[in-house]
């Protein structure tokens, strides 16, 4: 249950979700853990340390949260975060920043489709109104807990029904 994650952060904590185009292998998860565990203690905004944590969920999503009541993420700090994820993409030969894919659950696995293919799958009844769809655009912890995983009929993607 996602409510058990990031319990020391306030609901308004800023959040980023990076999704692999495919599941991470155990070796890739270990590599991601090491890279981000090395980065986060050094991550700062205007010389002030960011209070941040990350979790790998469903072997495909990297969810990073930052408590901006301590330090507000600056343009430079967000740029450094982006560089780390671009570096991970190169190291793993895997896209983590493709916003054109729609993730959803199918048989307890995470699947992704392009917008067009997702729309067609809904039209063909291959994806039902009860299919769990993810919203990787959520930007704070409260929305993550309440809106990240929803049945299609209640999600941002209900327009495809």
The model's pLDDT over 79-97, given as tens digits with 9 standing for 90+, comes to: 899 999 999 999 999 999 8
Q: How far apart are CA 123 and CA 32, in angstroms?
A: 37
Query: 92 CB contacts (<8 Å, ≥6 apart)?
Result: 20, 24, 28, 31, 32
- pLDDT of residue 1 exceeding 70, the answer is no
The model's pLDDT over 5-39, given as tens digits with 9 standing for 90+, comes to: 999 999 999 999 999 999 999 999 999 999 999 99
Q: How far apart are CA 124 and CA 122, in angstroms?
A: 5
What is the chain's mean pLDDT, rounded? 93
Over residues 58-83, the mean pLDDT reads: 90
- Kindly state the helix (H) or strand (E) to which residue 67 belongs, with its residue range: none
Residue 14: strand pairing partners: 66, 140
pTM: 0.93
């Amino acid at each position: 249950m996602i409510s058990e994650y990031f319990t020391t952060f306030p609901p308004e904590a800023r959040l980023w979700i990076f999704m692999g185009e495919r599941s991470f292998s155990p070796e890739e998860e270990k590599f991601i853990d090491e890279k981000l565990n090395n980065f986060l203690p050094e991550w700062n905004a205007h010389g002030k340390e960011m209070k941040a944590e990350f979790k790998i969920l469903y072997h495909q999503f990297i969810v990073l949260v930052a408590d901006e009541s301590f330090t507000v993420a600056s343009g430079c700090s967000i740029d450094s975060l982006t560089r780390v994820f671009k570096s991970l993409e190169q190291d793993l030969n895997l896209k983590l920043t493709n916003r054109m894919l729609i993730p959803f659950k199918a048989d307890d696995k995470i699947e992704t489709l392009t917008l067009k293919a997702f729309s067609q799958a809904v039209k063909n009844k291959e994806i039902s109104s009860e299919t769990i769809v993810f919203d990787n655009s959520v930007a704070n912890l409260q929305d993550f807990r309440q809106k990240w995983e929803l049945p299609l009929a209640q999600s941002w993607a209900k327009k495809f029904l």
